[in-house]
Chain A
Amino acid sequence: MSEVAAIDRPDENRQEIESAVVRFAGDSGDGMQLTGSQFTMTAAISGNDLATFPDFPAEIRAPAGTTFGVSAFQINFGARKIMTSGDQLDVLVVMNPAALITNLEDVKPGGIVIADSGAFTDRNLAKAGYEENPLDNDSLEGYRLVKIDMSRLTVEAVKEFGLSNKEALRSKNMWALGLIYWMYGRKREASVDWLKSKFAKNPEIADANIAALNAGHAFGETAEMPAELGTFEVETADISPGVYRTITGAESVSLGLLAGSQLAGLNISFCSYPITPASALLHHLARMKDFGVITFQAEDEIAAAAAALGASYAGSLGITSSSGPGIALKMEAIGLAIGTELPMVIVNSQRAGPSTGLPTKTEQSDLYQAVFGRNADAPMPVISVSTPSDGYDVAIEAIRIATKYMTPVMVLTDGYITNASEPWLIPDPSTYDRFDVTFRTDPENFQPFMRDDTTLARPWVKPGTPEMMHRIGGIERSYDTGHISYDPANHQKMTDVRAAKVNGIANDIPEQEVAVGAAGGKLAVVGWGSTYGPINRAVANLRDEGLDVSQIHLRYIWPLPRNLGELLHSYDQVLVAEMNTGQLRTLLRSEYLVPAEGLNKVNGKPFLIAELEDAIRARLEN
């Protein structure tokens, strides 16, 4: 049979739109993540800019048909720069009643809801908590509802391959994908190729999926589709030329750690203990053995941090990674890294807390923990990741700072960035400046805590180096010699120099820039981390309307950029938008005495552009 059965005819009546937000939602077993990533790839190849967000259930094998077993994948794609995975859905595709009930509230008024009516059985309706079938009453009146028995149509489409009913139904995600491809005038070739390679060992499965994809597409084409649904055209976006891939935050941080270690000329010892959403880093790095990357799944987070520090002590780059609760366990070891002044990178993939909190939901509530969360005066640099691809450069920067200043550095990312993806213009690693580490090997006048005049960093000496044997440890060290010292005056001096060293990093990082807008004016919206996208779009939209608002987005959380105080004071108002109850706001107020106000939320979901716009308007209109 021909691979792409229906012809992609140009459709004169396609409505041109600037961008669209589509979410595929279904049962964990319905293949929604695959469907979403295929749609993403095709949108990217079509030249759109895009951002995606997968939403997995917290339970591993939730019972089929239940609300807590719903898996969803959202994509925002457009002919303009896309900054978020989208506030509200233009199109929601649901494969069962549970997917409808859990996702409907995100559909914009009048948005399209496409439902597999074949899956709206009494049993599934009951599992989702519906008393009557919402497809048959007027409960979906405010939406453009399209009921299609995708289950039956899929089974029919793949009949010729002799699959069981259950196997046949596995292709219904491809049927839905075919239909959405038709709606947006998308080519199917990339997905056909992908199916063929994915199921190379089971050609009949590949053929069945391709047949389902084509059948969904043909269903739209052959006017079996209700006319009111419409077809759309999303033009190509203005994107810098080059070779692209999609990248998630977990991938970018992992790759950045590898790249950074190469720039430093060090081997990585990555020590971690599984925890959502941080585990993805361990999984990625565990597959980089051909780069000499050592990964160690420790017995707990304490051991992971301790082993990473041991690895740094021995002369490789110790990295540890976790999420909030695990980071709490690592703190004593991080304190030792601060005291013994050894480099180390700690990646914190934040999630909602306290305690276990909401493991799969995103939050930015570990800023206090990162900056302040240790016993005693224990300063440590903290930098943050703003977008899924940003992790690459941030991880490199963390390694640069850690090795240059002989200090642990914490990288803050979050559950949203870790799982979300965006297109990435693949960088050329050879264009990055190297920062090779030099280990001290000269015993002449060597003292373990004698500092570099400018960086205040102590020398890094690998055990194994002749004639430089020395001891370091957690008890306060004498200035220069590093011997145990209980002298109070020495402790004052050491506390001061540890702080001065970390504060001095402010001279070695870029000055804070204004992301959108200008220095000075009525209002600055300040953010950090994954709020970059929505703040950026909201501020840009309102500036287009003529409002005097600017965006300031921080990468460096500690030390803060040297010009930040002055910059913040140049605005009448400062609004700090973050997914916590006001942690950066407190830091900025205490550091700069600016009357910063907060826009805060912790409902497990990223900011919507609309809620930011409302908040900005409210401040500029009175």
Chain B
Amino acid sequence: MNVQSPPEKLTARDYATDQEVRWCPGCGDYAILKAVQNTLAELQADPKNTVFVSGIGCAARFPYYMETYGFHTIHGRSPAVATGVKLSNPDLDVWVVGGDGDMLSIGGNHTMHAIRRNVDVQLLLFNNQIYGLTKGQYSPTSKIGTKSPSTPLGSIDNPVSAAQFALGVGGTFIARSTDIMQKHLSGVLKRAHGHRGTSFVEIFQNCIVYNDGVFKRFTEKSVQAEMQIHVEHGQPLLFGKDKDKGLILNKDEMRLEAVTLGENGITEADIAVHDETNRSLATMLAQMDPPTMPVALGVLYCEAAPTYEASVHAQIDHARKDGEGDLAKLLHRGQTWTVE
């Protein structure tokens, strides 16, 4: 127990435990851990009110490294456990961490329901498109053709897009970032933390051992500028090293197109402006993939909506407005009779 209590200012290191971190050297999870610890320090989050809940997987080891409350649960069920935590104590600040297998395969159902209920948690999906902990089988986010111990000839089933899934089930906050973009990731995490409701954050994470480089088509330094678009509410959807590329909405075909300013008479006025309250736009952004389109990172969607646990407690408060129930009275409710 090495935590100082406020008002002393907490640093990122105060959010780290004394436990040895056991991810493979070079794993993207280290960078995410650092970004989360930095973010909590920036937010001066109260460690005693912060809870990390996780399922099973490499990613799900996360809580052991956070000097907060932590519950490492069972494979896929962390969104359900976290729902119980929030119902029981809505004041806790709950982060849910898991991998693509944990949250979209075995736990896809719980992820869906936590999101559609809008339980007030930050749900961080570490997407490495592989099952790391079980030694490299393909996952539901793996691209078709992924060779793995269980798919020696390449996987044949369609992958799911995490962000599109979250948008489709009615998510109120959907954002994306990558493990190696510390500043960007930290900005996204802060937005996620500020949002009331389920903040779904897909973090592209490199598994150096079993799926090294799967995201390099947009994370490699040389292609980053051309293959990533960092969306910001109210800002034109521009990208490219010189911000000379952008997205326009083709209204006839209802889709986004990548264009270059100055070509075919395109000016900045033609470029679509990001509106994070527009679910259709967010869905189109989430669909984009290299090489034809850049990957959209940042807050794709954000909408204010009541949280599940607040509504649950509002019903309870309403039921109690005329006073707390009386057990003795309840036992006597309905028809009774007296035996002399």
Contact = CB atoms under 8 A, between A and B. Distances in A.
A473 B84 contact: no
Given A473-B71, A474-B56, A244 B1 contact: no
B69 interface: yes
B264 interface: no
Contacts of A289: 315-316, 318-320
Interface in A454-506: 462-475, 483-484
Contact of B87 (A255, A294, A299, A428): A294
B278 interface: no
Contact of A469 (B68, B325, B331): B68
Contacts of B80: 298-299, 302-304, 306-307, 310
A333 B72 contact: no
B17 interface: yes
In the complex, which of the residues B47, B113, B327 has the most CB atoms of chain A within 10 Å of its own CB atom?
A: B327
A318 B340 contact: no
A313 B74 contact: no
A314 B339 contact: no
A462 B335 CA distance: 41
Contacts of A466: 5, 48
B81 A310 contact: yes
Contacts of B81: 306-307, 309-310, 313
B283 interface: no
A345 to B, nearest CB: 14
B73 A303 contact: no
A475 B71 CA distance: 11
Interface in A419-441: 426-430
Interface string B168-200: 000000000000000000000000000000000
B51 A318 contact: no
A337 B89 CA distance: 19
A242 interface: yes
A471 B64 contact: yes
Binding site secondary structure of chain B: mixed
Contact of A311 (B1, B74, B84): B84
A565 interface: no
A333 B74 contact: yes
Nearest to A237: B339
A615 interface: no
A310 B82 contact: yes
A291 interface: yes
A461 to B, nearest CB: 8
B70 interface: yes
A472 B87 contact: no
In the complex, which of the residues B68, B84, B324, B331 has the most CB atoms of chain A within 10 Å of its own CB atom?
A: B84
A243 B63 CA distance: 54
B328 A446 contact: no
Nearest to B76: A302
Given A310-B82, A467-B1, A469-B69, A243 B88 contact: no
Given A242-B339, A314-B89, A429-B328, A467 B48 contact: yes
Interface stretch (A19-27, A40-48, A403-411, A590-598): A40-48
B219 interface: no
A620 interface: no
Contacts of B328: 428-430
Contacts of B338: 241-244
In the complex, which of the residues A44, A312, A463, A465 has the most CB atoms of chain B within 10 Å of its own CB atom?
A: A463
B231 to A, nearest CB: 31
Interface in B254-272: none
A241 B337 CA distance: 10
Contacts of A315: 88-89
B85 A310 contact: yes
B294 to A, nearest CB: 35
Given A294-B316, A467-B3, A471-B17, A318 B84 contact: yes
Interface string B316-336: 101110111101101110111
Contacts of B69: 463-464, 469-471
Contacts of B3: 467, 469
B31 interface: no
Contact of B71 (A239, A294, A313, A332): A313
Nearest to B54: A473
Contacts of A484: 19, 64
Contacts of B324: 290-292
A288 B325 contact: yes
Interface of B: 1, 3, 5, 17, 19, 47-49, 51, 53, 56, 63-64, 66-74, 77, 80-89, 91-92, 109-110, 112-113, 312, 315-316, 318-320, 322-325, 327-328, 330-332, 334-340
17 contacts: A41-B335, A243-B338, A244-B339, A294-B312, A306-B73, A306-B84, A307-B81, A310-B80, A310-B85, A310-B86, A311-B84, A314-B88, A469-B1, A469-B69, A470-B69, A473-B73, A474-B74
Given A243-B338, A306-B73, A466-B5, 20 more contacts: A41-B335, A240-B339, A241-B340, A255-B327, A267-B88, A289-B320, A291-B330, A296-B87, A296-B312, A299-B113, A303-B110, A313-B81, A313-B84, A314-B88, A316-B88, A429-B328, A464-B49, A470-B70, A473-B70, A484-B64
The 6 closest A-B pairs by CB, nearest first: A310-B84, A473-B72, A307-B84, A289-B319, A471-B70, A306-B80
